[in-house]
Chains A and B, each alone.
Chain A
Amino acid sequence: MVNIRGADTPTDRLRCAVVGSGNIGSDLLLKLRRSTVLEPRLLVGIDPASDGLRRARRLGIEATAGGVDALLAAAPDIDLVFEATSAAAHLANAPRYRAAGLTVLDLTPAAVGPYVVPAVNLTEVRAEPNLNLVTCGGQATVPIVAAISRIAPVSYAEIVATIASRAAGPGTRANIDEFTETTADALCRVGGAARGKAIIILNPADPPLIMRNTVFAAVAADTDVDAVTESIERMVETVQGYVPGYRMSAPVQITPRGGPDGGLRVSVFLQVTGAADYLPSYAGNLDIITAAAIATAERIRPELKAEVGA
C-alpha cells in the first residue's frame, strides 16, 4: 500500500480510522489531515462506488469498501475509530470494536457509551472506550446549559436548533426523534438541567441559513445574573477554541418572571458557521460535531498512546 504521507516512518500521531463514507466521514477526514497529532489511516465504507471512498484515495488515504471486517483485520494498526454511520449500524458494530480493543468516538445518536462534550466533561469520561458525541445541537447547546448550571441550578433547559434542510442528512431526516431525545437527555446528563427539551427545525431557504441554536433555561429569581452571563461568555470562548465559527448572535437575555415557575428565563442565541471543510459554511451542524470529535481525539491521545506503548 502506498501512503503519500509517509506511513513508514514511526509516528506518535494517533492512527485513526473513519467508518462511514458520507458527509460526516468525509468532513472528519479533512479535519484529521489538518491535525498535527492525528493521522487518518483508513476510511471504511460498504459501497465500492461511494464518492467518499474515491475522494479519500485521491487524498492519499487508504479506503476500503470491506466494511467493519476490513477494519477489524487492520485493528493492530489503528488506535482510534470514528463511527460516522447510523445509530443502527453502530449498535451492531460497537461490541465488535470492543472485542478488538478499539476505542471509538461515536458520532451517531446510538449513545452506547457516555456522552462527551469536550468543553464540559472530557476529564470525567476520557478513559471510556466508547464515547458518544450527542448530536450537533447538543454540541452547540449543552456547553451553555452547563455554564449556567455551574452558577445556579437549572430547573428546565430547552433548545431550538434550526438547520438548513440541505445540511440535514438522510439519517437525521429518517430518525428525527433520535435527535430531539438524545439532545434533551444530554441537556440533563451533561448540562446539569433537571429537565430538558430539544426542538429541531429544518429550513429550506436558499441561500441556506447558517445553523442557529437558541438556549432557554429556567433559574431561580434570586440567581446572580451577572455571574451567569459571565459564565456563558467564558464558555463560548472555550467552545470557540475548537469550533472557530461558534458565536452568540445577541447578548445573553435575562427575563424576569419568564420561567415556567415564575423564576428567570435565560436566553442565549447562537450561530455556528461551519469551517467549510467538506460541506459549505452553512452546515455548521456538521462542522460542530466533527470538530468536537477531533477535539476529543486530540485530548484523549496521550492515554491511547500510553496504552499502545505499554
Chain B
Amino acid sequence: MSTTDSPVVDSTDHVPPLTGRRIQICDTTLRDGSHSVRHQFSADDVATVSAGLNRAGVPMVEVTHGDGLGGSSFAYGFARCPDDELIRTARAQLTDSQLAALLLPGVGTIEHLRRAADQGLDVIRVATHCTEADIAAQHLTEGRELGLVTVGFLMMSHMLPPDRLAAQARVMADAGAQVVYVVDSAGALLPHQVSTRVAALRTALPPEVSVGMHAHNNLGSGVPNALAAAMAGADHLDGSCHGLGAGAGNAATEVLVAALDRCGAETGIATQALIDVAADDVARICAGNLPALDRTALLLGYCGIYSSFLLHARRAAQQYQVAEADIIRALGRHRPVGGQEDLIIDVAIALAQRRQPS
C-alpha cells in the first residue's frame, strides 16, 4: 500500500479533518532541542541534523542556543558553539529550508539579531512572556527592516485567558509580526485550552497574520495539542525530532507530521525521510539525553512552570542535596516566568537551609 494511505479502515464518506489545509512546520530540534543536551551541540551535529531536515523537506529549521540568540550564559548554560557558528553551519546545509532563530528581548539584543542576519538568517522569532508583548516591538520592527520573516512568540500562554492572550497577540501583530504563536512553554495546556486560545488569536488578528502553536509534552499531550491548534485555525506548528526539548520535550516533529498526513493536511515534508532523520541522526547524537516524561517533567506541566527549568532544577538538587520535586513545588509559589533560572538556585539554597538550620 502507498505510505500516504491510512491503514485504518474508515467509512468511505469519511473526510479527514484537515483536508486541503497547508500546515507550515518549523523544526526546533537545533534550538529548543538543545536544552536536552545542555546547549552542547557541535557544529558537526548541527550540520548533520540540518542536512537531514533539509533533505526531508522541512520548510523551516530553527537554530540557536536553547534560550535564543545571546542565550549562552551562566544563567542558562554556556553553549559549546557560538550562535554565529551554529547559524553559519546550518545555513550551508539548508538549500531549501528557511533558517530561523529565536530572540528573547532582555536576553538577546538587536546587535545579536543583525549579526545573525549577516550569517544568512531568514526568520526571526521574537519571544516574550505572554503579558509583555510590547517589549518585542523594537526587535520585530528591526526584523522587518532587515527583510526577515517575523514571528511573535507568546511564551507561557497558559497564564492568560484566551481574550487577553489575543490582545497581546495584537500588540505583536501591530509591531510587524507576520505570525503569532501560542507557546505552551510549561506544557501545561490541554487540547481544549489550546483550541480556545488559537481560536481567540485567529479572530483577533487580521487575516494576513497567521497563528502558530508551540507545544511541550509535560502533560503528555504535545502532538494532540498541535493537532487541536491546527483544527482551531493555526497554520504554523513547531516540533522537534524525537521530541527533543525543554522539560518532557516538544511535540515530536516526525510524529506530528505523520499525524498531519492522516488528518489530510499538506506539509510538503517527506514523512518517512523525516522519521529516519529522527531515528538515525537525532537519536544517535543525543543518545542518553532524549527527553522523558518523568516525575519532574510532569510536575512542570502540572504546576505550570517553564520547561527549561528542568535540567537547572536537577543540577541544583544535586548541588544542594534537595529533592527536584521540592524545588519545582517551591518555585510554583514564586510565579516565575521564563528566564528566571537564577531563582532556582536561590530556592534550592533556601530549601537546604530549612533542612539544616545553622
Contacts and interface: CB of A to CB of B under 8 A. Distances in A.
- Are A and B bound to each other? yes
Interface of A: 158, 160, 162, 165, 173-177, 179-181, 197, 199-205, 209, 212, 214, 216, 218, 249-251, 253, 255, 258, 260, 265, 267, 269
A199 B73 contact: yes
Contact of A216 (B75, B109, B336, B343): B75
Interface in B54-113: 70, 73-75, 78, 105-107, 109-111
B345 to A, nearest CB: 6
Interface stretch (B32-40, B134-142, B296-304): B134-142
B131 A212 contact: no
A202 B73 contact: no
Given A160-B75, A199-B107, A173 B346 contact: no
A174 B175 CA distance: 11
B330 to A, nearest CB: 13
Interface string B310-344: 00000000010000000000000011111110110
B132 interface: yes
Contacts of B350: 250
A214 B342 contact: yes
A174 B335 contact: no
A214 B138 contact: no
Contact of A174 (B138, B334, B338): B138
Contacts of A255: 319
Contacts of B78: 260
Contact of A201 (B70, B111, B339): B339
Contact of A181 (B109, B134, B334, B337): B109
Q: With a 10 A CB-CB cut-off, give which of B338, B342, B345, B350 has the most chain A CB atoms.
A: B342
Q: What are the nearest 3 A-B pairs in CB distance? A: A216-B74, A214-B342, A205-B335
A209 B75 contact: no
Contacts of A200: 106
Contacts of A203: 129, 335-337, 340
B337 A204 contact: yes
A218 B78 CA distance: 13
Nearest to A161: B106
Interface string B110-152: 1100000000000000000101101101100000000000000
A123 to B, nearest CB: 31
Nearest to B358: A251
Contacts of B338: 201
Given A200-B106, A214-B342, A269-B349, 10 more contacts: A165-B132, A173-B134, A173-B135, A199-B107, A202-B106, A203-B336, A204-B129, A214-B345, A250-B345, A260-B74
A255 B345 CA distance: 12
B74 A158 contact: yes
A177 B339 contact: no
Contacts of B135: 173-174, 176, 202
A160 B319 CA distance: 21
B343 A253 contact: no
B232 to A, nearest CB: 25
B188 to A, nearest CB: 16
Contacts of B74: 158, 216, 218, 258, 260, 265, 267
Contacts of A175: 138
22 contacts: A160-B75, A160-B340, A173-B135, A174-B135, A175-B138, A180-B109, A181-B111, A197-B73, A201-B106, A201-B339, A201-B340, A202-B106, A203-B336, A204-B129, A204-B131, A204-B337, A205-B335, A214-B75, A214-B345, A250-B349, A250-B350, A269-B342
Contacts of B109: 177, 180-181
A253 B349 CA distance: 9
Contact of B346 (A165, A214, A218): A214
Contacts of A176: 105-106, 135, 138
Nearest to B67: A199
Contacts of B349: 250-251, 253, 269
A165 B168 CA distance: 14
A258 B109 CA distance: 25
A269 B345 contact: yes
Contact of A162 (B105, B319, B343): B343
Nearest to B70: A197
Contacts of A179: 106
A267 B341 CA distance: 13
Contacts of B334: 205, 209
B352 to A, nearest CB: 10
Contacts of B353: 250
Interface in B282-317: none
A177 B112 CA distance: 11
Nearest to B142: A177
